[in-house]
Amino acid sequence: MHTYIFYPLWIIASTPKKKQNEELYLETDELPTIDVLLAAYNEEKVLEEKINTMLNTTYPIGKLNIYIGSDASTDRTNEIIRSFVEKNSNVHLVEFPGRTGKSGIINKLAENATADLFVLTDANVMFFPDTFFKLVQHFKNPKVAQVAANIVKVAPKTEGIAKQEINYIQFENKIKYAESLRWKSVMGAEGGCYAIRKEWFAPVPKNFYMDDFYITMNVIEKGGYALFEPEAICHEDVPTSGDEEFKRKVRISIGNFQNLNRYKGLLLNGGIGFAFISHKVLRWHTPFFLIFCFILSFILSFYNNLFFFFFAMELLLLLSPAFDAIFSSKKNPSGLFRYAAHFVKMNTALLKGFFVWAWGVESNIWTPTKRSV
């Protein structure tokens, strides 16, 4: 209740809407050079559009360099990048001969990049013309180490889990903005798009998932500002397949527990620690709370009717994926069951990710989620 209801409502309602940063770049001639770092593996469906959205920018094109690391792609990814390299001197292809993993590619690109500011992004995240400017304008303030973009989820059709995932991310972004206003620290910049100073970039350890969260928490640990900019808008396609989203959530869960083990010291860091526990840590442990409450309410239901009611409600929640499948197969709108089923499936993914992490992670090489385009 605290992590999903009380904390979000409190942080959003109680945080005054104020300017989170008074020092902004306003003139284009003052803007710094930026290097875009992008890891790609078999992204032929979206990569051409992605690069075009970055090049069609209001940011001074002479101050923009794009470095794309291809992780031994086997489709037309390299061919597409080369076509841009031939026409644009600021687009660069870095080919990796064997599967390396996203964090390994980003680490290598960052090591070779020369600009004072990096923008890290994913192949399926499409920029608006002013996205770069809205991100970078905050860095006139030397206290600002990182700025997260407002990634808006879109789907060609609201079938499958698309609607539920879109609503969830919209709510998440409101929480992150409120945290940014209150503590100058967002609990995890989404890896689809964020900017960071070169000196604040932390190389991600081998076999680590959730490189974006690792880098953000490193900034917070060292006392830098990690802001959320709602006007730095990008679009990202959201998977409609529940199976695809489940796999993605398992990877996220693995990274969650890796990062909790690394940054557990922040749990005692005042307001930051409160936000970390409330927004992230309790949510990551929700599967265990659900299991514990289910068992306990079952035992107590023999002694008290109130606990029998709790047990019945929890049983209904756990059976919601089955009800959702039945209603969906009859082509009837499943309504509330779809949200409940999504909640249960994502917590199941969290639980699986925990056991994968506990067993030991041997590789973070990934296969991108199937694009809905």
pTM (whole model) above 0.95: no
Q: How many helices (H) and strands (E) does the chain have?
A: 14, 8
- pLDDT, residue 146, reads 98
CB 73 within 8 A of CB 43: yes
Regions of the chain short of the pLDDT cut 70: 155-162, 239-242, 328-336, 366-373
Provide the pairing of β-strand 117-121 with 34-40.
parallel
CB 342 within 8 A of CB 188: no
CA gap 134, 234 in Å, rounded: 11
Nearest to 82 by CA among 90, 91, 74, 73: 91
Q: Is 48 exposed, middle or buried (0-12, 13-18, 19+ CB in 10 A)?
A: middle
CA 120 to chain centre: 12
- pLDDT, residue 357, reads 94
pLDDT tens-place string over residues 114-132: 999 999 999 999 999 999 9
CB 57 within 8 A of CB 169: no
Strand, helix or coil at 303?
coil
CA gap 284, 353 in Å, rounded: 10
Handedness of CA 338, 343, 344, 349 (dihedral sign): positive
Q: Which structure tokens are listed for 346?
A: 């994502």
> Class assignment of domain 2-240?
alpha beta
Give the start-to-end residue ranges of the domains of the chain: 2-240
Amino acid identity of 219? V
pLDDT tens-place string over residues 323-346: 877 776 555 555 667 888 889 999
Helices (H), the chain: 7-14, 47-55, 77-87, 102-112, 131-136, 162-183, 211-221, 242-262, 270-275, 282-284, 286-300, 305-318, 320-329, 336-359
Q: What is the CA radius of gyration of the chain?
A: 21
- pLDDT, residue 334, reads 55
- pLDDT, residue 238, reads 75
Nearby residues of 35 by Cβ (< 8 Å), 6 or more positions away: 65, 66, 67, 113, 114, 115, 117, 118, 119
Provide the pairing of β-strand 144-154 with 64-71.
unpaired
At residue 80's C-alpha, the angle toward residues 53 and 90, to 5°, is: 60
CB 53 within 8 A of CB 126: yes
